[in-house]
Amino acid sequence: MSIFKRATQLFHIGVATRRIQQSRSENERVLAKHALGRLLADARGISMKVGQLLAGVDPDNPLQPLLNNIPALPLEQILPLLSSALGAPVHSSFKNLQPAAHAASLGQVHFAELLDGTPVAIKIRYPDIANLVAAELALAGLMPEVGPVQQWGFDLRAYKLALHSNMQRELDYRSEAQRQESFRQQVQVEGLCVPKIYAAWSREQVLVQSRANGVMLTDVRHWSFAERKRVTEILLQTFFCSLFNAGEVHADPHPGNYLFERCASGKITVHLLDFGCTLSISSTQRLALLKLIIACRKHQAVSPLDCLVALGFAADKLQFILASLPALCQILLRPFNSDGVFIPAEWHLEPDIKQLLGEDRWWFRAAGPAELLWLMRAFQGLLLQLEVLKTPVDWWANLLDTINPTLVERAQQLELPVIQAQAPDFAGLARRLQVLVTENGEPRVNVTLPSAAVLQLEQIIPPDVIEKLEQSQTASLSEIMQRLRTQGLQPQILFEFGDHAKRYKVWLE
């Protein structure tokens, strides 16, 4: 019955999603999104989690109410649940218990005080939410391996197992309490505050922690540049410290899990909440990722294929894009390759990957291990936050300032698994894109750009020059891009044509 009820809810959610896709006007689209938001709010569980991720940080997004306006269960319905979980009357442990301050996908939060007056936040799991999640997981298990999943060899079973394992951990607040306390002790970043767990009152269905205060990211947008920059640095350093030093990443980045506080003294504090979804990264994976970042930045003779396999990627699927791997990593790791501040708005991640790989980009996505989906989720959440803050900072400098100094040496000395394939390394990757236009032998245009800018060649080269290129029969733009996909971004002349009066030359070096 639970599965049937959940299937019906998911069917209606699917219909609402199609209505968004089929909307003929912006007004229709907004109305359809509001309808979807109401369905997701009623569904809770995994469905609501997806909606919260889609809500992002745009205050005008119709799904924003999923972050902080979810109808909560009344206090009188919660009291028996809390008393049963504690095994004693509520008043024997807490006083001044208030109606729900926040309702989320699996539970809701109430403010209260311990008997000694200590302010706490009590997270209580919804009744029957475990059965609803089990029904969703059962339905996910019925998903067939067809279409793109089958075509590109996605390991759907691994994704199902990863989802099942993650949701089982999220439902057990004892597991969350242990991971939160471990994170609090290991991730030491100035300006970061992780609430303290009160284990004596925490149970499978109840989590008690210190109370956090602050505003959400949408309010931080109006802070001064210096304050926003400090927030950016805390967020970046928290991500780097958790990933490389602690090996435990907070992987639920929706805005409701962050509170930002500024004191009269000028001190900025970022409160990080909800540790139901975290990802453990092994020491080998951390060092392999750091080795990849360093090799890409310094153009070392290190094979990206070997690094990716050490991270858990499937070598047999990466074989289809071997020549493009160095350039692909350069795109993916561009924030670390930039000298000085990195401006996220100038990072054309998806278009550049599509331009470089075309449909073959699905081989890279299918090659990745299922559990790294949570790392990608955390990284995407970080980028969305930085987009709102609009305060560019130096990623490389922040990385070196944050991680344990010995990690860089250990990463460079890490012995990688040797894959029997002729895989190009970063040493042979072009560093610059050069554009030269001369008239009567004199330079009129002489521009130097990062090599990855070649993927935006159509936007860089004026339309009239592209037309002349096509007419010269030297090469077409599509042929040039196909050559780059086959050979990678190796030093080469992309095109050169013209006459004595005017000549055009574009090359990678």
Q: Where are the domains of the chain?
A: 2-67, 279-427, 430-508
Cα–Cα distance measured from residue 269 to residue 260, given in angstroms and rounded to the nearest whole number: 6
pLDDT at residue 63 in the model: 53
Q: How far apart are CA 171 and CA 472, in angstroms?
A: 65
Q: Taking the CB of residue 233, how many other CB atoms lie within 10 A of it?
A: 22
Amino acid letter for position 291: K
- State residue 203's pLDDT score: 95
- Angle 45-55/26-43 helices, nearest 10 degrees? 140
* Residue 35 near residue 16 (C-beta atoms within 8 A): yes
What six digits make up the tokens of 139? 């339905």
Q: How far is CA 459 from the centre of its chain?
A: 27
- Interior/surface letters 36-59, b for 16+ CB within 10 angstroms, e for the rest: bbebbbebbbbbbbbbbbbbbbee
Phi, psi torsion values for 484, nearest 5 degrees = -65, -35
Cα(107)–Cα(126) distance, integer angstroms: 5
3-state secondary structure 345-368: HHCCHHHHHHHHHHHHHHHHHHHC
pLDDT in tens, the chain (509 residues): 454 554 555 555 555 556 666 677 777 766 666 565 555 555 555 555 555 544 554 555 555 554 555 678 899 999 999 999 999 999 999 999 999 988 877 889 999 999 999 999 999 998 877 766 666 556 555 444 444 556 666 776 776 777 777 778 888 999 999 999 999 999 999 999 999 999 999 999 999 999 999 999 999 999 999 999 999 999 999 999 999 999 999 998 888 899 999 988 889 999 999 998 899 999 999 999 999 999 999 999 999 999 999 999 999 999 999 989 999 999 999 999 988 999 888 888 888 998 899 888 889 988 999 888 889 889 988 998 999 999 999 999 999 999 999 999 999 999 988 776 677 899 988 989 999 999 988 899 999 998 888 888 888 888 888 888 888 878 888 888 888 888 888 899 999 998 878 999 999 99
Strands 100-103 and 192-193: unpaired
Of 187, 146, 137, 189, residue with least CA distance to 165: 137
Alpha helices in 438-494 (DSSP H): 457-460, 463-472, 477-487
pLDDT computed for residue 373 by the predictor: 82
- pLDDT tens, residue by residue, 32-71: 665 655 555 555 555 555 555 445 545 555 555 545 556 7
396 neighbors 238 (Cβ within 8 angstroms): no
- Phi–psi pair at 324, nearest 5 degrees: -95, -5
285 Rama class: left (phi>0) / alpha (psi -120 to 50) / beta: alpha
C-alpha distances in Å from residue 79, one per residue of 87, 122, 265: 12, 12, 40
The 3-class SS string of 13-56 reads HHHHHHHHHCCCCHHHHHHHHHHHHHHHHHHCHHHHHHHHHHHC
Q: Is the pTM of this model over 0.95?
A: no
For position 55, what pLDDT does the model report? 52
Helix (H) or strand (E) holding 122: strand 119-125
Q: Across 203-300, where does the E strand assignment appear?
A: 206-210, 248-250, 258-262, 268-272, 278-280
Residue 440, helix vs strand vs coil: coil
Per-residue confidence (pLDDT) for residue 440, from 0 to 100: 87
**Residue 506 contacts residue 494 (beta carbons within 8 Å):** yes
